[in-house]
Amino acid sequence: MLKEMVEALKKQSVQKVHVSYEATNKLVSAFSHLRFREDSEWLNVREWLGNVVKHSLNDEVIHSIQGFKSDDEQCALIIRGLPVDSHLCATPYNGYVPPSKIPLAIAIHIGIYQLAGIEPVSYQNENKGLLFRHVVPALNALNEKSSHGSTFTFGHHVDNPDLPLACEPVTERSGCPEFLSLMALRSDLKVRSNFILLDDLIAQLSHGVVNELCQPNYRINRPDSFGQSRSSRLPVLIIGEDGTMLCRYDKENTTPLTESAAAALVMLEAQLQNELLKQLVVYQPGDLLIIKNQRLLHSREGFKSRSDGADRWLVRMFGMSSLERIVPALPEYKHIGKD
């Protein structure tokens, strides 16, 4: 019975759509020649990018993208079959490639955000303020439990969890990203990612455990992707005004500060190992996954990097419903937030 209930929830909360052969050809024809080098140049043409994406895709895919942001029942959207740049360079183990080298990936990513009504954002001290982070097995970080590590499992987490969640006030620091997307340029079919929908997770916890997780009795450390360390005392869960539950749990960066907080965290982490709740994803080139970052926890299994230039390569971008949740780090770059 439990398995049937979980499967029913999954069908309601995750959508998969496929891009046609004709659509891929249109996108390649429109975007392959673009050679902008700076993030701001790409953002200056995002309205055009969105229109091209809209006029290339079929009605089903367009409807799914446009409805994702406002659909409370949808926490993840997987778009499969998007075109990938030809003649890719070697997997960038240093974590950077100029946007002009992968114009299809950049243009499609920004175009889909525009179609969805999502604002692309980045953070001043995370990923050097760049919009796109290259999720690759960095040669100097293989043993880290982070997006640039590979050897060990990267535990379930919400990205940038120390920043204010959507129902918390924004003052000096920008809000936690509401959306996160990953596009696969190269894949490794032996590497599985998975995500767990927050509502499914909460349904398996007692009221007492949930209440304890809502208390500010946890130390949340800033992830390694930031250039500076920071630690904040915060709750793991927050209940918004509309009753929607939001989460900032990060396996690698959450420490309980009381005995009752520790006990609640043990119960939470036990359910994160519940195979019935996990939804597995094995990325293939051209897959683009968009998730609601504060409503879902994601993880990646460990794997061995071959370091041969052809390792797994994903491109990540953050998004917000509105730039009102971003405190600009610089007046001329409204999308780069103070953190």
- Which residues carry a binding-site annotation? 298
Q: Quick one: DSSP state of residue 329? A: E
Q: Using alpha carbons only, what angle is made at residue 238 by residues 235 and 242, rounded to the nearest 5 degrees? A: 170
Q: Residue for token digits 């990203």? A: 177
Which residue type does 78 have? Answer: I
Residues annotated as binding site for Fe cation?
A: 298
* Stretch (H or E) spanning 263: helix 259-271
What are the distances in angstroms from CA 137 to CA 84, 189, 305, 311? 20, 15, 6, 8
Cα gap 203→94, rounded to integer Å: 41
Question: Pairing relation of β-strands 133-135 and 328-330?
Answer: unpaired
| Count of C-beta atoms within a 10 Å radius of residue 66 | 14
Q: Where are the beta strands (DSSP E) in 88-153?
A: 119-123, 133-135
Helix axes 103-116, 46-56, angle to 10 degrees: 90
Handedness of CA 127, 128, 133, 136 (dihedral sign): negative
Helix spans in the chain (H): 2-13, 21-31, 39-44, 46-56, 59-68, 103-116, 198-202, 207-213, 259-271
Say if residue 172 is exposed, middle or buried (CB neighbours under 10 Å; 0-12, 13-18, 19+): exposed
Cα gap 322→159, rounded to integer Å: 18
